[in-house]
Structure 1
Amino acid sequence: MFTEETVIEVRGVVQRHKHFQLGPVELSVPKGYVTAIVGPNGSGKSSLFRLLLDLSKPDEGEMTVLGERVGGDDRQLKARIGYVPDQAIDIEDHLRAEEKAAFASMWYPGWELNRYQELLRRFEIDPSIKLGKMSKGMRRKFDIALAMAHNPELLLLDEPSSGLDPIAWKTMIDVLHRYMERGDRTVLMASHIVDEVKRLADYIVFIVHGRVLGMFEKDALLESWYALYIEAGSMMASWKTMPGYRKHEQVGAQFKVVTGDVPEAERWCAEQGLRITGRQKLELDDILTVLIEQERLRMHS
């Protein structure tokens, strides 16, 4: 899919749980970009992160991260990665932030004290506070600072803005933009915040009910998904022959037809003699809603 070097390769990965199956997942994450995994809660985003870090095991398939196969002796590999999990680790609540940082620094050869202190200042974190006494937002800011203090090649961020207030959120966006300026670093993030994905992501991966539904270049995706309003006078035998067709419904004397390929869909309408009366650009959450609906129909068909 990519001409660029990839930093994550997931091939045929399946993980089975009692009431849920992740996969089979096929995924390539390109180096030097921000890739966002988008999907509803319970879709398998966090499960995929844990698999990539070898915190849980797949039942099938294999993965490579930064050129190393996941599942072996990965101490050196993990020293090149920064990770912010979706939930803080409760057993660390008794530690002060400065104690956690001192412990973490021993595991990362690239740890930079000045970088760590700079991030504490940017996020307005008091390192003398115990982790269990921090607010959810403060704990989140500390986890982000800790994950970035050793200048990792790869950042894995699972819902990074959870609990952040608007000012802290803007600071996080700026910090991540600056982190990416060198051009050789990579972020894989899971997020349900539409504005966050739009501000940060270069590529978007949709995952629903454990299935990866596709990977898209963000700008191209948002420019190609539209709802077209078409006069109902001369109804076609099937809307499904429209390029990029996703769904349709009748709205009064019109049909609202969603397409993921608006240039070709408009050309098709012209060839069929159908008059388009309106166009509505779909936002990211609209696109996800359509994909979720289609996946539910697929599962029950």
Structure 2
Amino acid sequence: MEQSVIRFKKLVQKRKHFELGPVNLDIPRGYVTAIVGPNGSGKSSLLRLLLDISKPDSGQIEVLGERVGSGNDQLLKERIGYVPEQSNEIDDHMTADRKAEFIRKWYPQWDITLYRELLRRFDVETDLKLGKMSKGMRRKFDLAIAMAHQPQLLLLDEPSSGLDPIAWKTMIDVLHRYMERGERTILMASHIVDEVRRLADYIVFMVHGRMLGLYEKDTLLESWYVLYLDGGSQERHGVNWKSVPGFCSMEHTGGTTVKITTSEAREAEEWCAAQQVHIVGRQKLELDDILVLLTERERLRMQT
């Protein structure tokens, strides 16, 4: 793992009908990490904890080398940009430029040229009051505000919510350019598979407040496969299909063909070669398919 920009240590937050954690996780510096999971899995809660908007019941959080909640965090927050899932209705009476004029006072690194460029690229109408903007335009404005002070760490909660396809492509390009310098970091919560595929270097899966692991995206996608195997080999050699490396599920698809889902594709193929099991087909799993399998695995684990 690269140098960490965020560290969660035994983090737990308890609510009446929900418990987050324990979370032990390091987010690498200089990469885009996406938190992926069903609604209500704890993605937004984790971001609010990072910003000290809400408090944990136990555990620690370190951001950019500073412990969250240890005192005056103004200098720390000057280095962070944040786009929440829901815009703040308190600002609805303000125009975009008036809100920006207020916000810039808190950020010594505010770049008015960058701010104007982002508004131009996103086609934001600055004379509109924020409450009169469409959801998509408000989203684009919030993103411009979060990036105008050139933060070291950018926290994005469902960043593409409300964006049309053209604005979405613009956002992807803007975020890619933001990351070009190499030392910046994005942590985003998203349920948009194509967004995660286009942006993320690492993926964190969350289900019911529990962390299912941090994965390097390309390695993950090369590991999860459906293999179609010649089931006749089981009868000839007494093969135990559940001993396939990374075994997740098995299904008979008709005739002698057996459909095996594995999270360790390379090792599974080597196993098939050693067992003289013929592979008749392969199919790579998509991120949403992987999430469904991990979610089901976690559900079964919680029942035992």
SS in 1 for 2:181: coil
Identity over the aligned pairs, expressed in percent?
Answer: 67
Structure 1 residue matching 2:52: 3-state secondary structure: coil
Q: Shift of the alpha carbon at 1:239?
A: 3.2
Greater Cα shift, 69-78 or 240-249: 240-249
Matches within 5 A, 1:184-263: 184-235=183-234, 238-253=240-255, 254-263=257-266
Give the root-mean-square deviation of aligned CA atoms.
1.2
1:58 aligns with 2:60: no
The answer to whether the 8 Å contact 2:233/2:239 transfers is no
Which of 21, 24, 28 does residue 23 from structure 1 map onto? 21
Whole-Å separation in 1 of the counterparts to 2:127 and 2:248? 53
How far off its partner does 1:237 sit?
Answer: 6.2
Task: Tell me how far 1:131 sits from its aligned partner.
Answer: 0.8
2:10 aligned residue? 12
Letter in 1 for 2:86: Q
CA-CA distance at 1:249 after TM superposition: 2.1
Separation in 2, partners of 1:238, 1:71: 52
Q: TM-score, normalised on structure 1?
A: 0.96
Deviation at 1:125, TM superposition (A): 0.5
Q: Secondary structure at the match of 2:180?
A: coil
Q: CA deviation at 1:251?
A: 1.9
Letter of the structure 1 residue corresponding to residue 247 of structure 2: Y
| Aligned-pair CA distance for 1:238 | 4.2
Instruction: Report SS of the residue matched to 2:267.
Output: helix
Q: Which residue is equivalent to 2:66?
A: 68
TM-score if structure 2 supplies the norm length?
A: 0.96
Q: How many angstroms does 1:6 deviate by?
A: 0.9
Return 247-256 or 64-73, whichever deviates more: 247-256
Structure 1 match to 2:151: 152
How many residues are aligned here? 299
After superposing the two structures, state which structure 1 stretch, 238-247 or 290-299, moved more: 238-247
Tell me if 1:116 matches 2:119.
Answer: no
1:39 is matched with 37
- The corresponding residue for 2:268 is 265
2:34 match: secondary structure: strand
Matched to 2:122, the amino acid is F
CA offsets, 1:220-264, max 9 Å, x none?
111111001112224356433221222222222322111111111
Within 2, Cα distance between the matches of 1:130 and 1:149? 19
Q: 1:288 aligns to what?
A: 291
**CA separation in 2, counterparts of 1:152 and 1:80?**
5
Deviation at 1:132, TM superposition (A): 0.7
The 5 A counterparts of 1:44-193 are 44-72=42-70, 73-193=72-192
Residue type of the partner of 1:271? A
User: For the Cα contact (< 8 Å) 2:32–2:199, is it kept in 1?
Assistant: yes
Q: Unaligned 5+ residue runs, structure 1?
A: none
Query: Stretches of 4+ moved more than 3 A in 1?
Result: 234-240
d(CA) in 1 for partners of 2:23 and 2:172?
29
Unaligned runs of 5+ in 2: none
- Aligned counterparts of 1:12 and 1:292: Cα–Cα separation in 2: 22
C-alpha distance 24-239 of structure 1, shift in aligned 2 (>3 A): farther
How far apart in 2 are the matches of 1:218 and 1:16?
30
CA–CA distance in structure 1, aligned partners of residues 57 and 222 of structure 2: 38
